């Protein structure tokens, strides 16, 4: 499984719930021949590396090491999951000032030792921090990617699938815009087997069900954080999917966060993800209502960026 990926090196900066769960997911999926774990708490990274390494007999060959920034040399992708976690009741945008300081230190430290790496931002608020990383890194925009609305789109597809009794892999539907409260569901583009969703069964959802499904999609993180303190399993899978697309040079379409020239901000949009990073955004056929909602989402992000002074 994934034997062609044994030569790849993946770096993870930040071994909190998201970073360590991503590293474990990458290990299980055989995404790399070497995983480098870095955390401000060196013992946490060391403990994770040892714990994962002890599963070696059950997995494809992979060396898991705890290190420091010089150990990132040669990494093709570095996942940035460093920062402070979202607290119950705290919005993603409330996190901004605390995490922007962390990212301002982390990005230059990575690039000093891994100047050719693709940076994959996972820390929230992900669109703002991916934009910050892009601005301070000097890298081409393709090489600074945020996890964007890939997780939101997965939640959306899951919930639509639950309603229609169809596996989410067969549901094609996107959430775009901010990874957060202003995100936008593209109902007009949602399809099953190429057939647009209608308002009635068997491939239909009435307006009230659509509203409920979107509300559950948008508010999923708050519900999970209230229940157990953090979200990490599904975002780890989303990050692994992005890394897989990059390392395999898949040129697959994923809703990651990139710079949208029309708005001048990073936000989740369909992009072509491969060894180059993320190329996009791809054009979206939106209704007038969806286009206006996306304009509002961009305005939220622009205002936040202005408040941060980026």
Distance CA 115, CA 250 (A): 23
> Among residues 3, 4, 9, which one has the least CA distance to residue 249?
4
Of 2, 54, 179, 276, the active-site residue reads: 179
Region of 102 (left: φ > 0; alpha: ψ -120 to 50; beta: rest) is alpha
Greatest pairwise CA separation for the chain in angstroms = 57
Tell me the C-alpha to C-alpha distance, in Å, between residue 53 and each of 1, 24, 50, 82, 171: 18, 10, 5, 22, 37
DSSP secondary structure letters along 51-79: HHHTTGGGSSS-EEEE--GGGGTT-SEEE
Q: Where are the beta strands (DSSP E) in 67-182?
A: 77-80, 118-121, 144-146, 171-172, 175-176
Whether residue 173 contacts residue 186, with contact meaning beta carbons closer than 8 Å, is answered with yes
Q: Token digits for 187?
A: 């109902």
Neighbours of 55 (CB within 10 A): 13
Distance CA 246, CA 118 (A): 9
- State yes or no: is 167 an active-site residue: no
Neighbours of 112 (CB within 10 A): 12
- Those residues whose C-beta lies under 8 Å from the C-beta of residue 57, and which sit 6 or more positions away, are none
How do strand 277-279 and strand 195-196 relate by DSSP bridges?
A: unpaired
* Catalytically annotated residues: 179
């Amino acid at each position: 499984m994934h034997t062609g990926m044994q030569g790849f090196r993946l770096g993870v900066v930040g071994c909190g719930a998201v970073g360590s769960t991503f590293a474990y997911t990458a290990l299980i999926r055989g995404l790399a021949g070497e995983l480098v774990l870095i955390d401000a708490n060196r013992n946490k990274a060391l403990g994770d590396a040892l714990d994962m390494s002890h599963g070696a007999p059950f997995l494809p060959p992979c060396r898991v090491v705890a290190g420091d920034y010089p150990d990132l040399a040669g990494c093709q992708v570095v996942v940035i999951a460093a920062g402070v976690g979202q607290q119950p009741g705290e919005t993603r945008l409330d996190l901004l000032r605390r995490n922007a300081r962390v990212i301002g230190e982390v990005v230059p430290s990575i690039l000093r030792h891994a100047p050719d790496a693709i940076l994959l931002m996972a820390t929230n608020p992900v669109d703002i921090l991916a934009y910050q990383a892009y601005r301070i890194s000097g890298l081409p925009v393709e090489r600074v990617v945020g996890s964007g609305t890939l997780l939101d789109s997965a939640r959306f597809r899951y919930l639509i699938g639950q309603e229609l009794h169809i596996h989410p892999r067969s549901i094609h539907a996107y959430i775009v815009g901010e990874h957060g409260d202003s995100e936008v569901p593209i109902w007009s583009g949602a399809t099953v087997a190429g057939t647009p969703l209608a308002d009635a069964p068997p491939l239909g959802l009435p307006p009230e069900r659509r509203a409920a499904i979107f509300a559950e999609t948008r508010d999923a993180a708050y519900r999970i954080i209230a229940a157990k303190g953090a979200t990490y399993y599904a975002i780890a899978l989303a990050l692994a999917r992005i890394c897989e697309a990059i390392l395999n040079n898949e040129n697959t379409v994923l809703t990651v966060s990139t710079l949208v020239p029309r708005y001048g901000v990073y936000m989740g949009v369909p992009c072509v993800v491969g060894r180059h990073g993320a190329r996009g955004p791809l054009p979206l056929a939106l209704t007038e209502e969806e286009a206006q909602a996306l304009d509002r989402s961009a305005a939220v992000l622009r205002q936040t960026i202005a408040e941060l002074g980026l």
